[in-house]
Amino acid sequence: MAKQRYFLELSYDGTNYHGWQRQPNVVSVQEVIEQALKKVLKQPIALIGCGRTDAGVHARAYIAHIDVIDPLAADFRAKLNFTLPEAISIQRIWPVVRGLHAQFSALERTYRYNVHTSKNPFQARFSTYLPVPLTELDWDAMQRDAQLLLEHTEYRGCCKVPDRHDSTICRVTAAKFIRTADDAFYFSITANRFLRGMVRLLTAQLLDIGQGREALEDFAQRLERAERPKRFVYAAAQGLSLDRVRYPEL
């Protein structure tokens, strides 16, 4: 009997999870949702996600899919949310054509990295504290260098484990810094795909440029040559969230 595929849009606070993907001996977001699905549907259900997120990284609009034989009940989302911990929420569920795949059908993904420059315990869980006044950052340099990302497709030098990828080619279609307050801003980046650690590594480099720790010429040359930076440092996980995933039929 043919199964019906459903897409799930969900949000999660990744603070206490070891990323999205199920792994032995640690708690992942995927595992927790699959356990909840099993309780609600009374059978094991495989949940396929749109991609990985690292430990401590969040998601505002993560997309996953499930395949079921019987149509989901009208109160299914409410029951699933009741079963899930507070840190995970299913925003909506809808049927899609069988060929649409949460991971492989995605056209582009957008990540957002939040930064605050005044120490604030109410922001610390979902934003990274940068103890430098926003007025002292070279905002124009960060914006200019972010635009360089649109000119390149080879990102081997911006990947934690490039040899684990079949390809290190990524097409970045948007990258910019946006101020939200006198002491807060975020970096938004959109691409067809991202490599392991790519967004956090690029964010750390751009913030270094804004603080005068690195020159534009050095950053541009590394991008051109697909070289790894000498200072291989990642921006902290808590500032990063998957913001949006776009599909051809959604």
C-alpha–C-alpha distance, residues 11 and 26, integer Å: 20
As a whole-number percent, the residues of the chain with pLDDT over 90 amount to: 83
pLDDT tens digits for range 83-128 = 999 999 999 999 999 889 999 999 999 999 999 999 999 999 999 9
**Residue 69's pLDDT is what?**
93
C-alpha–C-alpha distance, residues 200 and 113, integer Å: 8
Q: What is the mean pLDDT of residues 139-157?
A: 93
Report phi then psi at 89, rounded to 5.
Answer: -135, 130
Q: CA-based angle 165:169:171, to the nearest 5? A: 135
The reply to whether 54 belongs to the active site is: yes
**Residue 161's pLDDT is what?**
78
**Residue 160's pLDDT is what?**
77
**Residue 155's pLDDT is what?**
92
* Nearest C-alpha neighbor of 17 from the set 51, 42, 53: 53
Q: Which of 54, 145, 208, 243 is catalytic?
A: 54
**Residue 157's pLDDT is what?**
86
**Residue 250's pLDDT is what?**
60
User: Does this chain's domain 4-96 share its CATH topology with 108-246?
Assistant: yes
Look at 247 and 226; give whichever has higher pLDDT: 247
**Residue 191's pLDDT is what?**
98
pLDDT at 177 over 70: yes
**Structure confidence at residue 1 as a pLDDT band (50, 70, 90):** low
Domain 4-96 bears CATH identifier 3.30.70.580: yes
**Residue 216's pLDDT is what?**
77
As a whole-number percent, the residues of the chain with pLDDT over 70 amount to: 99
Cβ-proximal residues to 245 (8 Å cutoff; 6+ apart), any chain: 50, 61, 62, 63, 106, 108, 109, 110
pLDDT tens digits for range 22-58 = 999 999 999 999 999 999 999 999 999 999 999 999 9
- The CATH class given to the 108-246 domain equals alpha beta
Q: What is the mean pLDDT of the chain?
A: 94
Q: Where are the domains of the chain?
A: 4-96, 108-246
pLDDT tens digits for range 194-233 = 998 999 999 999 999 999 988 878 888 888 888 888 777 8
